[in-house]
Every structure is written in C-alpha cells, then in structure tokens.
Amino acid sequence: MAIPYDLIVLASIVFAVTFSLTYLFTLALVKTLPKRGLVAEDYHKLSRPKVAWPGGPAIFSSILIVELFLYFIYGDLRILSIALVTMIAGVIGLIDDKWKLKNGIIKPVLLILASLPILLLDIYGEIYVPFPIFPIFGSVRLYYVYPILVLAAVPIVSNATNMMDVLNGALSGFMIIATIPLVFSLILRADYNIMMATLPLIGSSLAFFIFHRYPSKIFPGDSGSLALGAMFCAIAIVGRVEVVAIISILPAILNSFFILSSVKRLVEHRSIKTRPTILLSNGQLAASKEISAPITLVRMILAEGPLSERDVVSNILKLSAFSAFLAVMTTLLTPWGI
Amino acid sequence: MGIIGFAWLLIFLGLYIIFYLIVPINIFPGRTDYASIFLNSLLKVASSATLAFLWIIIMIKLRDLYMKRKLSS
C-alpha cells in the first residue's frame, strides 16, 4: 500500500494550513474575548481564574475554510457534508454558549439539524452507504434503519464530546488521539478524499490544545466541543468507518452514558447540582462521596485517590490512547473489501 | 482501561451473536409474503435490541461495582 507522493504533499499543506489558521484565530480570541467580558471561571483551581471563552469559532471557522478548499479541489459532496455538519453544530454550540439552553432536551433536538446535510445532500446516493462494515463479519445492509441512526448519531456523539470538556486540555487532547485511528482506517480503505478531510480535525485540535492545555488560556465552549464531535461523527458516517469511530471514542461514550444513567434523565451539565468532584485545599481534585453525585469518567479516575488536574487529564489521555489502540486493532480485523 | 477493554470485548461478542445466531433466524422458512418478512425482521431487531440492553445493564453493574469498591476502600 503506497500513498502517492502528491497526496502526502497535499496532506501536509492541509494539516499545516488548518493548524496555522486555528492557532492564529485562537490567539486573537485569547486577546479579544476577555476585553469584551467573555470569560468563564475555571472551577478546578483554587484561584478560580477567569479564562477566555468560547474558543469554538476559532476551531470551526478554520475547519470550514480548509474543508471548503478541499471540496473545490475534489468536488466530493461528502466533504461538503462534513463542512456543513461541523458549521451547523458549531453555530448551535454558539447559541448555547450565548443563551445557555437550560432544558437538557433542546440541545440534542437542535443537533438533529446538524445531521441533515448528510441526509439531504444524498440525493444521488453519494454521501453515505447504508451498509456499515463490521469487524470480522463484513458489511451489513441497514437500508431503512441507517438514516434514522444518522439522525441520532450526530447529537449522541457531539454531546458525548461536549461532556468530555471538563478539564484543561481534556477535550482537545482527546480529539487528537481519537481521530488518528480514523485516518489509519481511511488510508487502509484507500478513501483518500475523506482521509484528507479528516486531517483538519487533528490539525485544529492540536493548535487549540496549545492554548487549552493546563493552565488553559481559553475554553472551547459548546461551540467548540459540539463542532468537533459532530465533525468526528460525520467523518465516521461518510467515510464508512463507523465501528472504528465508536471504539475510538469509547471513553466519551461511556462517560456520557455513565452520567445519563446515574442522573437518570437528559440533563444539561450546568444544571447538575451535586458536583462529581471536590477541590481540596491543596489544589488537588477528589471524587465526591455523595451518592447523588453523577458518576463521570473523572470521578471514576479520582475514585482511586486525589490527583492534580494535570494528572487527571493525563489519565484521560492514556485511556484515549488505549481506546485508539483498540480502534486500530478493530481496523485490522475489518474486511474492508467485502 | 479494564472497563473500556471489557466493553470492546463485549461489542465483539455481541457482533458474533448477532451475525451467527440472530441474522440467520428464519421463523417462516419458504414464505415470501410481506407480513412474514416483516415479522422475521422484527424478531431480529428485538433480539439485537435485547442484546444492546444487556450490554447497558452489564456496563452499569460493572461501573457500580467499581465505584463501590474504590470509594469504600
């Protein structure tokens, strides 16, 4: 399997341009947002510093620019659908950042809109194939069920990534690691158009991570987390790497699933009264022993004992790396040709 | 990591059950009318959904066991 030389050059350019654009846009937001009073309190530090927020526009605008550039090069409608899904989810996130949607059901319902480009652009049957490819067993016909799954997938995945945005650098670091297996499987499938369209997700997350890592200079907000999650989901659908994507994003899916099953309803994370973690006087984080506190991934990590915020994030990224490894194994076990 | 690894193994086990036991089910062999096909498909969907539900129950039990053990120690 040899990747053409010109493809490697274009991939490097796409990655570098997305990285540079996100870096510059985020830098601009870090300087301008606090002047406009757009800051959020960092609850996991004793000094409770005010951090610039939301950084999502820097993420999804740079991704949009590069994806549209790729669409004009390849003319592949799937790339356009990825760009539109990302943009719509980002705008919904911005609405949530600005007006703080209190009702837990509104955001998932709005996010169904973000999945529509995948279904609506499919008039010539070019966007998605309702035959997901499973490891070992090959592809399965899900002709009637698949569109319904598409409608449900974007809200589920983007909310799952949104719930990962709890500590400095957790979301952006997680997205970098979780996306690598997608690139690997798309190369194995020789779907170079979508492989190229996946690179902006890594490039943008990496540039944002520089500002988002501990101690954060900016938070992505819902506009960033929902856009990244929706883009990840769109790539999985149009690139036909659904199962690999599910395995790769397993920590986020389990996290949101554990939260929802412990609070027993669809809930906006801001409205959860009992916090899953406690900030100790030495600056470390500890798991709450309250029975009513939601069971989150962070609380499960901290159940072992108190840790610094940096260590918790490091553990989350290790879990992501383990999931990415399992996703690569899944890729190798998948008969892509069937 | 144990929970994630176990979830991954359960997904593969579930796929094996779905592909080798549920997909070949045909409760109306030889019949090609719409109602038979629909009922047969409905049975497969219900069986797969039961498996997914079982996966959820196992994950919840595993999580509760983990949290109970860690927080009490």
**ipTM, 2 decimals?**
0.79
Cβ burial A147-162 (10 Å sphere, 16+ → b, else e): bebbbebbbbbbbbbb
Q: Alpha helices, DSSP H only, in chain A?
A: 5-32, 56-74, 77-99, 106-120, 145-164, 170-188, 192-212, 221-238, 242-248, 250-263, 297-302, 309-332
> What tokens does A203 get?
């490039």
Best probe of the B interface among A136, A137, A314, A325, by most B CBs < 10 A, is A137
Residue B58 forms contact with A (CB below 8 Å): no
Q: Say yes or no to pLDDT of A266 above 70.
A: no
Residue B59 forms contact with A (CB below 8 Å): yes
Residue B26 or residue A242, greater confidence? A242
Q: Say yes or no to pLDDT of A193 above 80.
A: yes
Query: Which domain does B59 fall in, by range?
Result: 2-72
> pLDDT value at position A201?
97
> pLDDT value at position A137?
83
CA distance B22 to chain A (A): 13
Residue B11 forms contact with A (CB below 8 Å): yes
Closest CA to A320 of A261, A269, A255: A255
Q: Say yes or no to pLDDT of A102 above 70.
A: no
The number of C-alpha atoms within 13 Å of B58 and in the hemisphere containing its C-beta is 15
> pLDDT value at position A265?
64
- Report d(CA A107, CA A101) in Å as an integer: 7
> pLDDT value at position A272?
65
Poorest-pLDDT segment among A13-22, A80-89, A116-125, A177-186: A116-125
> pLDDT value at position B14?
86
> pLDDT value at position B70?
78
> What tokens does A289 get?
């022993």
φ and ψ at A279, to 5 degrees?
A: -90, 120
Placement of tokens 């996966």 in the chain = B55
Report DSSP state, residue A285.
E
Cβ proximity of A140 and A134 under 8 Å: yes
CA pseudo-torsion sign A288, A51, A164, A120:
positive
Amino acid, res. B9? L
Q: Which chain A residues are closer than 8 Å to B5 by Cβ?
A: 322, 326
Q: pLDDT confidence of A270, banded at 50, 70, 90?
A: low
Residue A57 or residue A125, greater confidence? A57
Q: Which of A303, A304, A319 sits opposite B1 (nearest CB)?
A: A319
CA distance A174 to chain B (A): 15
Determine, for residues A247 and B11 on separate chains, whether the beta-carbon distance falls below 8 Å.
yes
Can you tell me the mean pLDDT for A252-274?
76
Write the pLDDT tens digit of every residue in A14-48: 999 999 999 999 999 999 999 999 999 998 889 89
Cβ proximity of A71 and A80 under 8 Å: yes
Best probe of the B interface among A139, A253, A300, A315, by most B CBs < 10 A, is A300
Can you tell me the mean pLDDT for A93-109?
82
φ and ψ at A286, to 5 degrees?
A: -130, 155
Residue A333 or residue B19, greater confidence? A333
Domain ranges within chain A, ordered by starting residue: 5-266+310-332
Q: Which helix (H) or strand (E) holds A138?
A: strand A138-139
Q: Say yes or no to pLDDT of A104 above 80.
A: no
Residue B65 forms contact with A (CB below 8 Å): no
- Both ends of chain B: CA-CA distance in Å? 20
Q: pLDDT confidence of A248, banded at 50, 70, 90?
A: very high
Residue B3 forms contact with A (CB below 8 Å): yes
Q: Which chain B residues are closer than 8 Å to A257 by Cβ?
A: 56, 59
Q: pLDDT confidence of A127, banded at 50, 70, 90?
A: confident
Chain B residue nearest residue A299, CA to CA: B67
Q: Say yes or no to pLDDT of A196 above 90.
A: yes
Closest CA to A201 of A236, A160, A243: A236
CA A61 to each of CA A21, A93, A204, A229, B73: distance values in angstroms, whole numbers, following the listed order: 9, 13, 10, 15, 48
Residue A117 or residue A2, greater confidence? A117
Residue A61 or residue B70, greater confidence? A61
Determine, for residues B70 and A304 on separate chains, whether the beta-carbon distance falls below 8 Å.
yes
> pLDDT value at position A103?
63
- Report d(CA B67, CA B13) in Å as an integer: 25
- Report d(CA A80, CA A126) in Å as an integer: 11
> pLDDT value at position A132?
87
Determine, for residues A251 and B15 on separate chains, whether the beta-carbon distance falls below 8 Å.
no
> Pairing between strand A133-134 and A39-41?
unpaired
Can you tell me the mean pLDDT for A138-148?
83
CA distance B4 to chain A (A): 7
Chain B residue nearest residue A321, CA to CA: B1
Chain A residue nearest residue B7, CA to CA: A250
- Report d(CA A320, CA A240) in Å as an integer: 21
Determine, for residues A300 and B66 on separate chains, whether the beta-carbon distance falls below 8 Å.
yes
Chain B residue nearest residue A317, CA to CA: B1
DSSP string, A58-127: HHHHHHHHHHHHHHHHH--HHHHHHHHHHHHHHHHHHHHHHH---STTHHHHHHHHHHHHHHHTGGGS-S
Q: What percent of chain A has pLDDT over 90?
A: 70
Number of domains in chain B: 1
Placement of tokens 């067993």 in the chain = A137
Q: Say yes or no to pLDDT of A226 above 90.
A: yes
